[in-house]
Amino acid sequence: MFSAHLISAAWWDTIAEIGTQMWKAIVEITVFDIIDIILVAFLLYKLIGLINETRASQLVKGMLLFVAASLLAKVLHLRVLDYILTNVLSYGVLALLVVFQPELRRILEKVGHSSVSKLNIFSGMQLDESAEEQKKQEIIDKISGGVMTMSLQKVGALICIERDTKLGDVIQTGTVVNADITAEMIGSIFFPNSPLHDGAMVIRDYRIYAAGCFLPLSNTNSINKQLGTRHRAALGMSENSDALVIVVSEETGVISIAENGKLTRELDIVALKKKLESVFIPEKQTNQNDKKSMLRKVIQNGKNK
């Protein structure tokens, strides 16, 4: 009985000591420590979000299981299992860096994207705001016109519009054209049996910069099996950069857009223009939404009266 009482007293003394140490640690926390904790938590949150967008999320879960099994083996003194798991974790990390190089590259590219200059895809031209918006609208109309013509004629096409991520490595695989954007020029490049019709066109700074380029293919299994190489290439390019990729199916003439690893299909010319405007002229979309909102309010107020 006396021994049990001593054990109980020692237990409470230990808890009290731990509580005292924790309280001292809390009291000694400064404003900079709080900022440090918040920044680390924010970075971890963003990192988890980036990992969840790739197939590396399953890898992280598997690694956590390995770490948990290794800790359990140490606690239970399972020496052989501990030795095996420790070596697997040590050398496995290097192997995983090689295997998941595309995912790591994609994460670093997303981190490197500048939110300030993200929408300034035509950075090569120094124009005032109204002239720049007009120029962008002309480019949107020409691209949409060329794409719609090819859709009606069922001519396959793959148009990659460069944004913040530079596509120099992709351009090197094709032929530099550096021509003005017109619907006729787009149609002639993708005309069947023309020298550059099989590859992708790259648009940079208001111009058709290159054609006949090869894009990286997506490895995702979620893509429709009926879709061909063009759609897989468009999806792969959007996974590895912030480029906007337009696809015209050679079999059906269906227009699709790949952006941020997602494929949107069956767009008409109105939807295509709206999509391009929302990316290249976001101010116009905002103003249109504001006008619609004001119009709805006026109509609603009229009904209430």
**Position of tokens 């590859």?**
199
Residue 119 has pLDDT above 70, yes or no: no
Count the helices and strands in the chain (H runs, E runs). Answer: 11, 7
Average pLDDT over residues 142-155: 92
Domain boundary residue among 112, 141, 164? 112
- Alpha-carbon distance of 159 to 245, in angstroms, equals 6
Q: Which of 48-57, 90-99, 126-135, 251-260 is predicted most confidently? A: 251-260
3-state secondary structure of 224: coil
Residue 304 has pLDDT above 60, yes or no: no
Residue 303 in domain: no
What's the chain's Rg over C-alpha atoms? 28
Find the CATH number of the domain harbouring 144: 3.40.1700.10
Residue 127 has pLDDT above 80, yes or no: no
Residue 202 has pLDDT above 90, yes or no: yes
Q: In this structure, are 136 and 270 located in the same domain?
A: yes
The larger pLDDT score, comparing residue 136 to residue 7, is at 136
Residue 192 in domain: yes
Output the pLDDT for position 83. 83
Q: In this structure, are 75 and 22 located in the same domain?
A: yes
Element (H, E) at 81: helix 79-99
3-state secondary structure of 108: helix
Q: Residue 196's closest CA among 217, 172, 214, 169?
A: 214
Q: In this structure, are 195 and 281 located in the same domain?
A: yes
**Virtual torsion, Cα 149, 150, 151, 153, nearest 10 deg:** 90
- Residue 265's domain comprises 129-288
pLDDT tens profile 25-58: 666 667 777 888 888 888 877 777 666 655 556 6
Q: Cα separations (Å) of 180 from 127, 177, 200?
A: 17, 9, 16
In contact, 119 and 107? CB cutoff 8 Å: no
Report the domain count for the chain: 2
Q: In this structure, are 65 and 138 located in the same domain?
A: no
Entry pTM: 0.57
The larger pLDDT score, comparing residue 53 to residue 71, is at 71
